[in-house]
Chain A
Amino acid sequence: MFGVLKDYIFWHYTVAYVDQIYILKNYVWFLKRFFSIREVVKSLFSPWKRIQDDKGSLIRDPGNFFASLIVNTIMRIVGFFARMILLLIALICFLFLLVIALIVMVLWALIPLIVVFLFGKGVTLLFT
């Protein structure tokens, strides 16, 4: 019995933490991949959905040229804001993940004590 408890405690404060780091790394990898951070940053100023109007010639058809220029600029602005919103959501998710991970890691250290405390308290309340 004592051997099992000793092994568990050893695991709880060593191997379990290594596992948690691996799991955290997996989720970080997942978020990076899910939001395609690198690609979104690289294309931050690209037109939305890369839709661009053919501007044509400034000399031959200046009206069309400037109309297209405006459309293209709008598409870039739309693209920029859409990507910024996505990056913001990604950032919130990363922060949320880190906060959760920190809470879990801290709580993990205390969990054996919490379990013992809750159990002792519960039994006392039940039988007194």
Chain B
Amino acid sequence: MFDTKQDFFKNPSYRFHRAVALEHTFSKNVRKWVSIILDIVVVFSLVSLALNKAEELYPRTWNTIDPNIALGLLFTALSLWLFIKMLNYYFNSYYFYVEGLLERGKTGAQTPFTTQNYEVSDIYYLTKNGDLLKSFATSRYGEQILMRIGMKVEDVKRFLSSRTNVIRYDGRAEGLSNVFTLLNLASFLVENDAEFLQFLFEHNVRKEEFLGGTEWIERIVKEQKMKEHTWGRIALGKITPVGSDFAYGGAYLLSSYSEDFSRLVEGGSVNFQFVYGSDEIKQLQTILSRGKEANAILVGEEGVGIREVILDFARDITNDYTNPALKHKRVLSLNTKVLLATMPTKQDLEVTMLKIMDDAISAGNIILVVEDLPQFIHGCGLIGSDVMLLIDPYLAGEYIQFIATANTPEFHQAIEPNGAIMKRFEKIILREPGEKPLIRMIERIAEDHERQYPIFFTYPAIVEIIHSAQNYFDNAIMPDKAVDLLTEITSSMVNRREYVVSKKNVLDFVSTKTSIPLGVIGEDEREKLENLESYMKDLVVGQEEAIVVIANAMRRSRAGVRNPNRPIGSFLFLGPTGVGKTETAKTLAKVYFGNESAMSRLDMSEYQGEDGLGRLIGANNEAGALSLLLKTEPYGVFLLDEFEKANPKVLDIFLQLLDEGVVHNADGKKINGRNSIFIATSNAGANEIREAMKSGINLEDAKKGIIDTIIASGNLRPELVNRFDGIILFHPLSDDNYRKIAVLMLNKLKKRMYEKNINLVINDALIGVVMKHGIDPDFGARPMARAIQDTIEQKIANKIIAGNLGAGSTIEFSKEDFA
């Protein structure tokens, strides 16, 4: 009986069917070994025949085998050897079919993306009873994909055998008509099999991650095949030509002052499927192919990868993936530092420069790279030389092309305003690459690390490295910071003898580095988060409502519900002086970031004047206080004391900072506040709070009225007040509260004394004296620290100096001591 369902996946009319069938019955590996054995048999038969011949000529006993048998062996082995070569050729013809199309740049009906790839056919061939998911997951490609997304083989096997609804695709083959690549197949499976999607979801793998992992493996497979395809143009193109050495000059003087980029990229992997910088490279090719004034200046932030773009450009020329005008060009980078260091005078420099230029022109195929052009111009200027004027005729000519580079601020400062330079150069701006090219780039670097170290990166880990670098590291730019993070994670993992990098490993690493709690909430942390209020209440006295509001906001943030494009949290603390506003901020730093010193503080009353804004965010090449603090302490609590006293222009900056988590300084550089908790404190409304408390009105009920009063008084603008995640009213403290604070502070003193082996007994007398001298109707508990210092600490110090207190002694004060 003809089984039509079975037929779909093993349809002999498929282009690759027979090659796949051959591979599964007589694999490439087996063929290789059989071929080696046959080689040995051929050599053995030939030696036997030679010995027979020798015996005929010089008769003696050689113990040879019968010549007929030797000849028979030779013929049989040769025929089988040839047969295997034919099979190999037959197999390769299909196996590399799509790669051939790719190399020939085929478009139209038959492209690599509209022809079913060998890998997909291989999975089809394995399909039994239409269970395509099983054949996918158990195929060598599927296994690699599942490993890359961090799935364990046992989990996959368990899932495959315990599925409640096994989908048979042999009856739904029409859906597969648009499946050509592994990515198409993975996408088809995940869209059609809800149970599989759920399985991935339960293992913390999103659909995008599954497809991303598939794309990665497909790219690795294709690149490997390109390497094996030794008769293809890509592999042949890697061989460096010799002819151009005969046709062009050696540029000997230039060579001694430059780095040969073309040599650097020789034999390197082909940039055939490059993604990053492709636009920039295309622009560079177009500009440099022009008849004259073919010069480009690449502008970008430091770390954005300008050098890599030029190297990719040089690699494309070396591998012949460029337009005819740039064929056989040699890319040399002028070593400006060596040039400047070895030229003592203006005359030496200028003569050498001119010789170098003439040398480059006579060579006939030079593209000269001048890295960091503004610095070079500056360096030449220091010895009195106007280098741009000197090389201007060369820049304007047609015999040599220039690629200059400059970082963005220096470009705007030194190059852009100079019309003479800009006339000669076409500007190419390099921006931070988008997410997809970044993923490809980090994948490639991860592959390099995998070759060097015993380490394996999962796809979700790669994505997380990029996200973490973007969100938590603001001191560098992409892709540099992602590459740095990847390198640090590699060494950390290898040192710990852990070899599979998962998303959790990345989050743990970032969390350790930044002190920001990230990743899955552990048991200890869960307990801490659930009981955040009680932890904070132990340290902050009498402000229960405030603590509840803050704790809730922190839990939202940690649960991942918060908006990543805003600060972790922002609160406005309103209330009289000395009621615990600063203490609450410190406690939050300690509880959330694990350290009281994770709190930065700005006294906003210092920014009242017109120059406040400049001093805060920087001006005239001077860094501002906010920029500096956020740069040095990007993860922590940021306390803005006496917020309302700042200049209105300063306050306007916070509209954006609280809303988007970023502001731009005078140079246009981004200041990132997304990893901070902003706490603004203000005494505004203190009288209203006191009045409300005196009248016995609940603060929460009076809150709206108090805030309206503050806004009406013009202290804070309504749009700014509304930007805060929470406005928290701190009420004046009661005697009971003060007593608790006194005990807390005395306990700190007791701890300090204990470190000196002195036992301080805390009794009512001590508490009483602290309360007597440490409470002020206007300043709340603020004088308390002073009171402890002036009364108790002073008395202890006197006793120590008088020799009345030694190590191991106990000190207890009575009321009379303070009478």
Query: Which residues from chain A sit less than 8 Å from chain B, CB to CB?
Result: 3-4, 7-8, 11-12, 15-16, 19, 22-23, 26-27, 29-30, 33-37, 39-40, 42-43, 46, 49-52, 82-83, 86, 90, 111-112, 114-119, 121-128
Between A and B, 22 residue pairs with Cβ closer than 8 Å are A11-B93, A16-B93, A26-B233, A29-B233, A33-B241, A33-B243, A34-B242, A35-B243, A36-B243, A40-B243, A40-B246, A116-B79, A117-B79, A118-B75, A118-B82, A119-B76, A119-B80, A119-B83, A121-B72, A122-B73, A124-B72, A126-B76
Q: Which residues on the B side are within 8 Å of A112 (C-beta)?
A: 86
A114 touches B82 (CB 8 A): yes
Total interface residues in chain B, CB < 8 Å: 43
List residues of B (72-128) whose CB comes within 8 Å of A's CBs.
Answer: 72-80, 82-83, 86, 89-90, 93, 100, 104
Q: Is the CB of A11 within 8 A of B244?
A: no
Q: Is B69's beta carbon under 8 Å from chain A? A: yes
B-side residues, CB < 8 A to A, are 12, 18, 68-69, 71-80, 82-83, 86, 89-90, 93, 100, 104, 231-233, 236-237, 239, 241-244, 246-250, 320, 327-328, 362-364
C-alpha spacing A115/B85, complex, angstroms: 11
Chain B minimum-CB-distance residue to A19? B93
**Across-interface contacts of B90 in A (CB, < 8 A):** 8, 11-12, 16
Complex contact A122–B75 (CB within 8 A): yes
B783: shortest Cβ distance to chain A, in Å?
86
**Chain B CB within 10 Å, residue with most, of A82, A117, A126:** A126
- Choice from B83, B231, B250 contacting A49 with Cβ under 8 Å: B250
Once bound together, how far apart are the Cα atoms of A124 and B76, in whole Å? 10
Establish whether residues B79 and A33, one from each chain, have CB atoms under 8 Å apart when the complex forms.
Answer: no
Tell me if B's interface is mostly helix, strand, loop or mixed: helix
Decide if B236 touches A51 in the complex (CB within 8 Å).
Answer: no
Known: A125-B72, A126-B73. A111 touches B231 (CB 8 A): no
Say whether chain A's binding surface is mostly helix, strand, loop, or mixed: helix
**With A and B bound together, what is the CA distance between A5 and B68 in angstroms?**
31
> How many contacts between A and B, using CB within 8 angstroms?
131
C-alpha spacing A20/B217, complex, angstroms: 30
Given contacts A11-B93, A115-B86, contact A121 B244 (CB under 8 A): no
Known contacts A19-B93, A26-B231, A119-B80: A39-B244 contact under CB 8 Å: yes
Contact B79 A118 (CB under 8 A): yes
| The one of A33, A52, A115, A121 that contacts B83, using a Cβ cutoff of 8 Å | A115
Q: Are A36 and B86 in contact (CB under 8 A)?
A: no
Q: In the assembled complex, which residues on chain B have CB atoms less than 8 Å from the CB atom of A117?
A: 79
Q: Does the CB pair B93–A15 fall under 8 Å?
A: yes
Q: Which residues of B contact A19 (CB under 8 A)?
A: 89, 93
Determine how close the nearest CB of chain A comes to the CB of B577; give it in whole angstroms: 81
A33–B327 CA distance with the chains assembled, in angstroms: 10
Contacts A36-B241, A43-B247, A114-B79 aside, 4 further interface pairs with beta carbons under 8 A come to A35-B243, A39-B248, A51-B362, A121-B72
Instruction: Contact check, B249 vs A50: say whether CB atoms are below 8 A apart.
Output: yes
Q: Cβ of A40 and Cβ of B236 under 8 Å apart? A: no
Given A36-B241, A125-B72, A86:B231 Cβ within 8 A: no
